Structure 1
């Protein structure tokens, strides 16, 4: 299946934002961001879709039968989770996922996926409870903080989201004064980026600029604060300033991200050129 350039760029942008917030530092199952999208079968594809659907349902039934005998069978729980995801049934997928999270507390990925799934289904109370459990064990877990922030903002509680990240940031600064950043339980730059993102969403651009500049000064080798600042400037319509920063971003970024970043920078240039007012002959003569 061919993917349109527009969709391709959109997914590149999403990937960069996730990278920006350091949310790809671990490997997780594709629960929320990669849930199989439902397709509308037509013509010859109808029978194939029906066959695939029946196959998945039989797989799910087989795993359920195993779990009736062995409710904590890890392989069966994983198999049922995968089958439900391939069916596109998120609500049903959360049942084995919740049990996997309970059985594997040492693997926070399951808890994160569970919270994200509940969040996707707008079970904000359940998502909040799960995120809090994760943060109680690891206050610096950036993915859980990001999820908690999203839940709060979805409920129009942006100030609480700011307070949550700011308090965690204060703890990180205290922690950093006692030991090196490499040994700290917190990633200071990621926390600053998360706080800056909230400010940007709230259009508190001066506050976002302050926190981004602090992050840039704090780690001159990290391209992410520069990327965040460039994106914010673009949102404000300051494309020329953004392009200057994008140049530094591309220079500092790891090789595997450079082409994606170039695409993002170029997209902004194209958009800016389209909005520029063409100079008429009369205007040229008056100059």
Structure 2
């Protein structure tokens, strides 16, 4: 179970690193910039007493609720309420304000993805899948939604459905390219995610074939090189995997080099105690952890 989880964590790094997408861990951002206008004081030192901190968060939540009673569409208060309820561990209480934010911002898919994650954590898998699909209907290349729905399907032990979803996305990209339109689909990231599903269901040969295809198409991208190294490492091919780890380290931006080196030396997907992109993979918003 841990190995599978670690592989999904690495899959997120491979899929989303270097891409111009917002992290799914948006909730701290949502509340941070505008809290002052809603009446909170985020720059103040937090109380050392856990009970006092709890009371302060509850007071903040109540303050946002009072604002929303007067101004139901006040987005600063909605964002603050979401953030505060996450800190309080009140995941059920996040759904309402997130649904309102989705309604008020139909062109901002990140709110919908967060809503889908929240529903998934609460066990509303049908609601989560429907929300992910609504995002993908509008933006078939939205990697946050595509990643979220893929993970949901795999967790439901429906890997073939996940594979079908990703293959359909690649066909959509081909069709849009043939029509001369802007596909808006990161084909490399979709292929990496598809390969990750093959790894999850113990089809390493198919995963490696996809990695090789992606390496040929994007030789400067460290992600498929790293992914192939991890698969070969699992198969016991130490020499080849170490050569690929070195290649991935050379290609990767500075912020990923240390992590790749740890992967190569420790023989694990994500170093123990590191974030490793976990907030991007979990079906619920990362700040709830």
TM bin (shorter chain) = 0.7 to 0.9
Secondary structure at the counterpart of residue 220 of structure 2: coil
The alpha-carbon deviation at position 14 of structure 1 amounts to 7.6
Q: Tell me the residue number matched to 1:26.
A: 21
For residues 47 and 178 of structure 1, do their structure 2 counterparts lie closer, same or farther at Cα, with a shift above 3 Å needed?
A: closer
Please give the per-residue CA displacement for 1:113-172, whole angstroms capped at 9, x wherever unaligned. Answer: 111121222211110110011001001111111111111122221111111101111222
Gaps of 5+ in 1: 1-11, 35-45, 270-287
CA distance in 2, matches of 1:29, 1:248: 29
> Do 1:31 and 1:85's aligned partners in 2 also have CA atoms closer than 8 Å?
no
TM-score of the aligned structures, taking structure 2 as reference length: 0.77
- Return the structure number with greater relative CO, CA threshold 8 A, min gap 6: 2
- The answer to whether residue 213 in structure 2 is matched with residue 214 in structure 1 is yes
> Do 1:13 and 1:264's aligned partners in 2 also have CA atoms closer than 8 Å?
no
Q: Tell me the residue number matched to 1:279.
A: none
The alpha-carbon deviation at position 237 of structure 1 amounts to 2.9
> Do 2:8 and 2:196's aligned partners in 1 also have CA atoms closer than 8 Å?
no
Q: Tell me the residue number matched to 2:77.
A: 76
CA distance in 1, matches of 2:24, 2:59: 22
- The answer to whether residue 208 in structure 2 is matched with residue 224 in structure 1 is no
Secondary structure at the counterpart of residue 49 of structure 2: helix
> Do 2:226 and 2:248's aligned partners in 1 also have CA atoms closer than 8 Å?
yes
Q: Tell me the residue number matched to 2:63.
A: 62
The alpha-carbon deviation at position 77 of structure 1 amounts to 0.4
User: Which range moved further: 208-217 or 87-96?
Assistant: 87-96
TM-score of the aligned structures, taking structure 1 as reference length: 0.78
- The answer to whether residue 131 in structure 2 is matched with residue 130 in structure 1 is yes
> Do 2:215 and 2:224's aligned partners in 1 also have CA atoms closer than 8 Å?
yes
Gaps of 5+ in 2: 1-5, 30-46, 269-289
The alpha-carbon deviation at position 189 of structure 1 amounts to 0.4
Q: Tell me the residue number matched to 1:188.
A: 187
CA distance in 1, matches of 2:183, 2:267: 37
Aligned CA RMSD, in angstroms, stands at 2.7
Q: Tell me the residue number matched to 2:285.
A: none
Q: Tell me the residue number matched to 2:121.
A: 120
- The answer to whether residue 253 in structure 2 is matched with residue 259 in structure 1 is no
The alpha-carbon deviation at position 230 of structure 1 amounts to 1.1
The alpha-carbon deviation at position 234 of structure 1 amounts to 2.1
**Number of matched residues?**
246
